[in-house]
Amino acid sequence: MVKVDARGDACPLPVVKAKKAIAELNGAGEVEILVDNEIAVQNLTKMAQQKGLVYSAEKLAEREYSVRFTVGKAVPEREEKTEACAPDTRTDTVVVIASDQMGEGAEELGKTLLKAFVFSLTQQDKLPKTILLYNGGAYLTCEGSPMLEDLKALEAEGVEILTCGTCLNFYGLTEKLAVGGVTNMYVIAEKMLGAGNVVKP
């Protein structure tokens, strides 16, 4: 049996890894994919149905699932479009981060709170559509940011991450941007005015 650990991988990586493992079997055998969310399970079982594979799915623990494929003789594949990921889970909410800390008071506490807030966004069932960062918030999308991995995880889930170019330039961070894209005040205003909700931590 070929075992693939796709825990922590964003769509469509679990499906991509599963297809690669199935191809490596050269015709027959079993593949087990470990994932950490139900959406990945749904995407993998959908792929199995498309390919006519025998499959089973099992919840092993909290945020740990096993999906197994039994591959017999090679089944001719139907022409497929690019793998469809889970339904869009983003809302029309825009999150605006204008500082490298959350709230007023102790700076160290403010930074800890903001890091926890950004991590908490990654755990939501409904994600924001866009995260806008300006002024001191520009530091968060740059090299050395303690929340870079969480922002990259959100971007991988389809969340648009935009940092103010004027702010990056002002703080000398233009070359250090490590996630998302650069934007301007016109777009920031447009995104905020067009949002169903604007959340400012």
**11, 142, 164, 167: which one is catalytic?**
11
Task: Indicate the pLDDT class of residue 128, thresholds 50, 70 and 90.
Answer: very high
pLDDT of residue 192: 95
CATH no., domain 93-199:
3.40.1260.10
pLDDT of residue 176: 96
Crossing angle (nearest 10°) for helices 13-24 and 38-51: 40
The reply to whether 11 belongs to the active site is yes
pLDDT of residue 85: 55
pLDDT of residue 24: 86
Task: Indicate the pLDDT class of residue 43, thresholds 50, 70 and 90.
Answer: confident
Coil, helix or strand for 49?
A: helix
Instruction: Report whether pLDDT(179) > 80.
Output: yes
| CATH architecture of the domain formed by 2-71 | 2-Layer Sandwich (3.30)
Q: What is the mean pLDDT of residues 25-47?
A: 86
pLDDT of residue 98: 97
Is the preceding omega at residue 12 within 30 degrees of 0, hence cis?
A: yes
CATH 3.40.1260.10 residue window(s) in the chain: 93-199
pLDDT of residue 60: 92
pLDDT of residue 190: 93
CATH 3.30.110.40 residue window(s) in the chain: 2-71
Q: What is the mean pLDDT of residues 27-38?
A: 88
pLDDT of residue 80: 46
Q: What is the mean pLDDT of residues 120-146?
A: 94
Instruction: Report whether pLDDT(78) > 50.
Output: no
Residue 186 burial (C-beta neighbours within 10 Å; 0-12, 13-18, 19+): exposed
Give the pairing type, strands 29-35 and 54-61.
unpaired
Instruction: Report whether pLDDT(77) > 50.
Output: no
Selected residue with higher pLDDT from 90 and 23: 23
